[in-house]
Structure formats: structure tokens, C-alpha cells
């Protein structure tokens, strides 16, 4: 077994029906984990992709419209070793016009659900005295302000902070809590930006790699943080951004 093998591990990936979550689920499975692919929509396509690479997983329904849904259901998923908090939503509007409804919806899914799902996962690990890995999906907007996405920016700053505090509290318990901060990745969340020729050109002009990222670019980092290779990595937020933050 190599440092990067996940053989014998059981993982839960939220928001695994498409995009980054789907890519992460497939790569965790390829590395040997049995992956529970969670989403508010069917993850059957993700499970099909997992089976195509000769690996194993299943689709489970999890809707963070109730931010406590993960915490309520985590016991039903069996003994988990890896949690990838990928589920997230975004709302775009000028800050002068931004609604309370859109603020609460984004914070509930992106931050409250993440914290309490992770808390329930960690309680399970502590109770059985097992090691575990948490991989949160942060953002470039964990470090920057962005434009017209106030609740998303607040939530992703929060994800960075929660990643660090949980690492501080749980590292000695054998639980690694880290995050990946994707750059501009071609997913549903960035479709509006990619369809705007002005904004798309502005973004591409700053990325040293000169192109939008792909979900698969995030998946390898998630596998690393879920593996024994990252056993001494705690509270890290790894940028996978084509060089954006170095510019």
C-alpha cells in the first residue's frame, strides 16, 4: 500500500453529483476508497463514473436546504474515515441590493452545514478512537473580496477560519482538517462568469496558467489530503488556482 492509497477507507463527499464534487468522488474511489456520493440531486452519474474505473460507491440523498441534514444523517452512513465538504451554492447581486434570503441560504449551505456535518463526523471518530481526514472546499474568495457575491465571500472566509480552528482542536485527536481553495474552475458556479466575455477575459489575463481550471485539477489535491501522505498536514489551505494568488 502506498502513501496515497485509500484502500479500506470509507468516504463521504457532499455535492458529488457534478463538477468538483463528482471529480473528487471518482478520484477517491480510484485511490481505493468506498465513496458515498451525497447530493440533493441523484449522484447516479457519479457512481457510473466510479464503476467505469473499476471502483465502488453509492448515491445518497442529502439536501442542505436543512443545514443540519448531514449531522442528522451521518450515523446512517456507517463508519466513515474521510469527509469532503464540497456542497456549496452562490448568489450574485450588488451588495446594495443583496437580500436577507440570499444571505441566509448561502451561509446555511456553505458554512453552517459544513460545520455541523464535520462536528458529527468527528464525534463518530472520537467515539471509536479512529483517525480521520476532513477536506473542506474553500475558494480564492477565502482570501479576496470578489464582486457581487457578499454572502459567498463571507461563507468562504468562514470555511478558512473553521478549517483552522478545527485543526487546532482536533490534530491531537488524530483528525486532519484541511482545505483546498480552487481557482477559477469550469463548473456550474462559474458559468455566468465564463459567459461574460469581459469578465472572462479579465480573469484569464491574470491566471499565469492562461486557462480555466478543470474539476479534475482539484481532485488530486483532495486525494492527497485524504491520504496518509498528509498525516502531518493540519490547518492548511492549499491553492489550486493556476497561479492566481501568486500573481
Please list the active-site residues: 152
CA distance 188 to 207: 20
Q: Which residue has the cell 455566468?
A: 192
Which residue, among 93, 101, 96, 163, has the nearest Cα to 133 in the 3D structure? 163
Strand partners, 82: 11, 133
User: Which residues, in sequence order, are bridge partners of residue 180?
Assistant: 137, 238
C-alpha cell at 80: 466513515
Helix, strand, coil proportions of the chain in percent (round to 5)? Answer: 50, 15, 35
Determine contact, residues 245/239, Cβ cutoff 8 Å: yes
Angle between helices 113-127 and 150-170 (to 10 degrees): 20
Rounded CA-CA distance 176/187 in Å is: 27
Element (H, E) at 54: none
List the beta bridge partners of residue 11: 35, 82
Pairing of strands 132-137, 175-182: parallel
Could you give the CA distance from residue 76 to residue 71 in angstroms, rounded to a whole number?
10
Amino acid at each position: 500500500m502506498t502513501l496515497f492509497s485509500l484502500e479500506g477507507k470509507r468516504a463521504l463527499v457532499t455535492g458529488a453529483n457534478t463538477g468538483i464534487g463528482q471529480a473528487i468522488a471518482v478520484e477517491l474511489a480510484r485511490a481505493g476508497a468506498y465513496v458515498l456520493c451525497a447530493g440533493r440531486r441523484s449522484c447516479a452519474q457519479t457512481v457510473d463514473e466510479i464503476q467505469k474505473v473499476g471502483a465502488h460507491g453509492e448515491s445518497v440523498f442529502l439536501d442542505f436546504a436543512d443545514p443540519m441534514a448531514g449531522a442528522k444523517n451521518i450515523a446512517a452512513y456507517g463508519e466513515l474515515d474521510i469527509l469532503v465538504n464540497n456542497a456549496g451554492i452562490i448568489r450574485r447581486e450588488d451588495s446594495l441590493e443583496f437580500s436577507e434570503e440570499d444571505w441566509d441560504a448561502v451561509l446555511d449551505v456553505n458554512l453552517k452545514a459544513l460545520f455541523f456535518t464535520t462536528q458529527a463526523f468527528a464525534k463518530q471518530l472520537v467515539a471509536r478512537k479512529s483517525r480521520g481526514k476532513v477536506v473542506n472546499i474553500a475558494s480564492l474568495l477565502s482570501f479576496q473580496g470578489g464582486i457581487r457575491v457578499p454572502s459567498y465571500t463571507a461563507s468562504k472566509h468562514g470555511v478558512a477560519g473553521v478549517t483552522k480552528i478545527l485543526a487546532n482542536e482536533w490534530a491531537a485527536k488524530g483528525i486532519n482538517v484541511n482545505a483546498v481553495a480552487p481557482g477559477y474552475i469550469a463548473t456550474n458556479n462559474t458559468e455566468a462568469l465564463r459567459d461574460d466575455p469581459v469578465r472572462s477575459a479579465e480573469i484569464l489575463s491574470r491566471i499565469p496558467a492562461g486557462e480555466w481550471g478543470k474539476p479534475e485539477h482539484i481532485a488530486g489535491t483532495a486525494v492527497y489530503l485524504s491520504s496518509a501522505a498528509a498525516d502531518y498536514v493540519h490547518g492548511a489551505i492549499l491553492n489550486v488556482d493556476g497561479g492566481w494568488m501568486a500573481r
